[in-house]
Structure 1
Amino acid sequence: MPGVALLLSAFGWVLLALAMIGTAYMAFATGVLARFLAQRSPASPRATPVTLLKPLYGAEPKLAENLATFLEQDHKGPVQVLFGVQRADDPAIAAVHALQRRYPEARIDLVIDGTPHGSNGKVGNLVNMMRQAAHGVLILSDSDMAVGREYIGQVLAALDQPGTGAVTCLYRGRGDAGFWSRLASAGPSYQFLVGLVFAKTRGLADPCMGSTIALRRETLDAIGGFAAFADVLADDHAIGQAVRARGLAIAIPPLLLVHASTETAFVELWKHELRWAATVRGVSPAGYAGSFIGIPLPIALAGMAIHPNYGLAITLAALAVRVATVRVVDRHAGEPTAPLWMLPLRDIASFAVFVASFFVRSVDWRGTELTMLDNGRVAAPSEMT
């Protein structure tokens, strides 16, 4: 039918136009990322006492190795590494005991406390851990992060800047469990990182991420402590909002940490990324809705199916920009996150997650289904009855 053909043709041109805009955006954003990462990140010379907070849950591939990077630091001041679990039979305890044997001179403390504090299990763990936090500067980071030797010094240097209330850190991916984990790790390395730095440097976003949240104890107390975020899914974002509400800035040093992906099957990747996407959608609906423009390759492929000739040229341009992004990230990381042939699969998966996230009303968090409420809050099944 002529009318249907005309509509299909128009739809194809719209897709190709969006793909061209997205490709131009990603090219510019990749340049911004390259300049940001090229900055020098000095370490603080001060011997500031620090407590590293590491909430744990279950065994993960390379867990002990990742945690050990926080003990192998060049920082000269006292460091307490405080681990927390909520069950006496948590397999992560074995990794903590192994670290205590490996680093007998380090102060490594473990809190085992299952006292509940709201729906967010990680935050509840942190509330229990704070009873044994020894120092006035706190650096919280997720269990799946790995860092370099100057991590503490660089974070403290950023925290020492006037008007700074908290420090958070960029991260790239690393697959630790085969194909699906490598596919998952390409997301933070080659897409999330680009958009985040662009938004931060252009004043479009002021992120605070679980990769690192460093702040002084008095700042944490002033925003209500960790307990104030016990029912919030995006606790890192909410902590950042609370810090900014007190007129303090959140700094991001040009430091690239490592996030270890551990997915061994597609369903794990899907659940994890859908939870993350739904979380971002909940805290920034408008910004998230427009983020599809940063995934131009699948859009170009769809447009090429309707207009092959023009579509092929735009698809190749989108692919070339994606390769340039990979080169920038891998150069600063010192190693590739994933092979180039994974890029189309990664971008198609990202677009599928983006679409599916608009239909999510509950998310899976470590085997527990949490219902999403207003203002980024969540409720466990027992709280819904």
Structure 2
Amino acid sequence: MSLSWIVPAIIHGLGIGLTFAATGYACVALWAIGKARRTITDSTQKPQPVTVLKPLHGAEPRLYENLHSFCLQAHPDYQLVFGVQKQDDPALAVIQRLREEFPRHAIALAVDSRVYGSNHKVSNLMNMLPHAQHDWLVLADADINVPVDYLTRVTAPLADPGVGIVTCLYYGIPGPSFWSRLGRLFIDDWFAPSVRLSHAFGSTRFAFGSTIALRRDALQTIGGFEALCDTLADDFWLGELTRRAGLRTVLSEVVVGTDVGESQLKALWSHELRWLRTIRSIAPAGFAMTFVCFTSPLLLLGMCLAPGPITTGLALLGGAARVLLHFLQRRTSDRAFAWHEVLLIPLRDTLLLMEWAAALAGWQVRWRGQVMHARSGGSAP
């Protein structure tokens, strides 16, 4: 009996499977985004005093604009604590400008070079914490831009003693370069929908440097920032350790902006590869299946392996869902439609697939001039 039909049948089945997987993911991601939009609620909790911790490192593009958004908060009682590790850090000039512009604001500054582990950002936070006047804390990266009601809304869930942290998703704010616009799509079209999908199915195993709000007692429960000083993914582990302590993670309805400033492919590749290898270190099994998220190349490969009406129909449905997801994400971030960016979708998905493959091939990442290894658990040497 001839078995010559087996290999073609396997290839055909693989093509249909890839097409079905990519289409299924795009459709379910659309559902998750729609579900999140329907569950937005407003809080009526009385605001509590809050300290915002902002670790800084250099004069990043749009640093003034981003920090300025934190000075415009409608919250009735909040303090800003900025931290740098060098006396000549260019960010100091921006902080001085804000102090002059907002003389009535409670703005503290920690300039401290002490390092406690391999993660310099965590060392910065440890040096800043003694300056915090309040027991409700908000950590936010330097490149984050927020609306005026941000502090009131993100801290409201902390009134529940069972809540450990509150975290925020974010959308990309691109610079003028082509590569920064492509980097924005990494966040808006892949990262944010994947988190929405995970959250829709009940997972809260995440925390993002865009925002982490927590009470001082929750921080003390996990051993303080000292417990994070040798971790690469410090934001994730801050959430993970509070979850292990029996406290819940809340994904806020607030979506903040983050700068995407890469002007060259090399810089974009390095940044996104660091993200992907960090995600791999945290959830290796889930990361191995991430390829189903890269819709365009999978649909093309599926049609090439199994040409026919079934794959064509699935591919049309998957392609339409992918484009609709792109525009829904523009609405989520309150940004105007950019119809020409639809043309970037195939390139964006293909670059992601290549980065995913590269992330599987090693652990080394570069972050703020340091070479680190995203080993199991996200630790760094």
Q: TM-score, normalised by structure 1?
A: 0.92
Asked if the contact 2:33–2:196 (Cα under 8 Å) also holds between the matched residues in 1, the reply is yes
Q: Secondary structure in 1 aligned to 2:239?
A: helix
Letter in 2 for 1:316: L
Name the structure 1 match of 2:25: 25
- Which residue in the other structure is 2:92 paired with? 93
Q: CA offsets per residue over residues 198-244 of structure 1, 9 Å max, x none?
A: 11121244211111111111111111111110110111111111111
Which position in structure 1 is the counterpart of 2:345? 343
Q: What is the identity, as a one-letter code, of the residue corresponding to 2:350? A: I
Shift of 1:5: 10
Per-residue CA distance 1:328-372 (angstroms, 9 max, x = gap)? 211222214862111111111111111111112211001211133
Please say if residues 47 and 156 of structure 2, whose CA atoms lie closer than 8 Å, have aligned partners that are also in contact: no
Q: Residues of 2 paired with 1:370 and 1:5: CA distance? A: 49
Change (3 A) 1:161 1:29: farther
Q: In the alignment, what sits opposite 1:367?
A: 369
Give the Cα–Cα distance (whole angstroms) in 2 for the partners of residues 8 and 237 of structure 1. 44
1:152 and 2:151 equivalent? yes
- Report the more deviating stretch, 81-90 or 159-168: 159-168
In structure 2, what is the Cα distance between the partners aligned to 1:4 and 1:172? 51
| 2:222/2:242 contact within 8 Å kept | yes
Aligned 1:29-68 pairs, distance under 5 A: 29-68=29-68
**In structure 1, C-alpha distance between the alignment counterparts of 2:8 and 2:297, rounded to whole Å:** 17
Residue in structure 2 matched with residue 208 of structure 1 by the alignment: 207
Check the 8 A contact 1:62/1:176 in 2, yes or no. Answer: no
Letter in 2 for 1:348: T
Identify if the C-alpha distance between structure 1 residues 62 and 12 changes in structure 2 by more than 3 Å, giving closer, same or farther.
Answer: farther
Contact 1:208 1:237 in 2 (8 A): yes
Q: Distance in 1 between the 2:19 and 2:204 partners?
A: 23
In structure 2, relative to structure 1, the CA distance for the partners of 1:366 and 1:44 (3 Å cut) is farther
Opposite residue 83 of structure 1, the aligned amino acid is F
C-alpha displacement of 1:10? 3.6
Q: Which residue of 1 aligns with 2:224?
A: 225
Per-residue deviation, residues 146-176 of structure 1 (Å, max 9, x unmatched):
1111111111222223511110111111212
1:19–1:297 CA contact under 8 A, matched in 2 = no
Moved more, 296-305 or 255-264: 296-305
Q: Indicate if the aligned counterparts of 2:168 and 2:255 stay in contact, CA closer than 8 A.
A: yes
Indicate if the aligned counterparts of 1:173 and 1:337 stay in contact, CA closer than 8 A: no
Q: 1:54-133 to 2 correspondence within 5 Å? A: 54-76=54-76, 78-133=77-132
Say if 1:73 and 1:152, in contact at 8 Å, map to a contact too. Answer: yes
Residue 277 of structure 2: aligned partner: 278
What SS does the aligned partner of 1:378 have? coil
Aligned residues: 377
Alignment of 1:294-305 (within 5 A): 294-305=293-304
Partners in 2 of 1:101 and 1:5 — Cα distance?
77
Measured in 2, the distance between the counterparts of 1:38 and 1:102 equals 39
User: Partner residue of 1:169?
Assistant: 168
Q: Whole-Å Cα distance in 2 between the matches of residues 9 and 92 of structure 1? A: 61
Deviation at 1:109, TM superposition (A): 1.6
CA shift in 2, pair 1:4/1:160, >3 Å: farther
Structure 1 Cα separation of the partners of residues 47 and 283 of structure 2: 38
Distance, in Å, in 2 between the alignment partners of 1:281 and 1:165 is 24
CA contact under 8 A between 2:11 and 2:306: conserved in structure 1? no
AA of the residue aligned to 2:326: V
C-alpha distance in structure 2 between counterparts of 1:8 and 1:205, whole Å: 42
Per the alignment, residue 358 of structure 2 pairs with 356
User: How far is 1:312 from its partner?
Assistant: 4.8
TM-aligned CA deviation for residue 247 of structure 1: 1.0
User: Structure 1 pair 243/337, CA: closer, same or farther in 2 (3 Å)?
Assistant: farther
Structure 1 counterpart of 2:327: 327
Q: Give 1:196's aligned amino acid.
A: V
User: Cα 1:162–1:30, aligned 2, differ >3 Å: closer, same or farther?
Assistant: farther
1:185 aligns with 2:184: yes
When the two structures are superposed, what TM-score results if normalisation uses the length of structure 2? 0.93
Tell me how far apart the structure 2 counterparts of residues 111 and 5 of structure 1 sit (CA, whole Å).
Answer: 71
Q: Which amino acid aligns with 1:30?
A: L
Residue 82 of structure 1 and its aligned partner are, at CA, apart by 0.7
The Cα of 1:89 is off from its aligned counterpart by: 1.7
Aligned-residue Cα RMSD (Å) equals 2.1
Cα separation, 2, equivalents of 1:340 and 1:127 = 44
Counterparts in 2 of 1:87 and 1:3: CA distance versus 1, 3 Å: farther
Task: Measure how far apart 1:15 and its partner are.
Answer: 3.5
Aligned-partner Cα distance in 2 for 1:184–1:225: 33
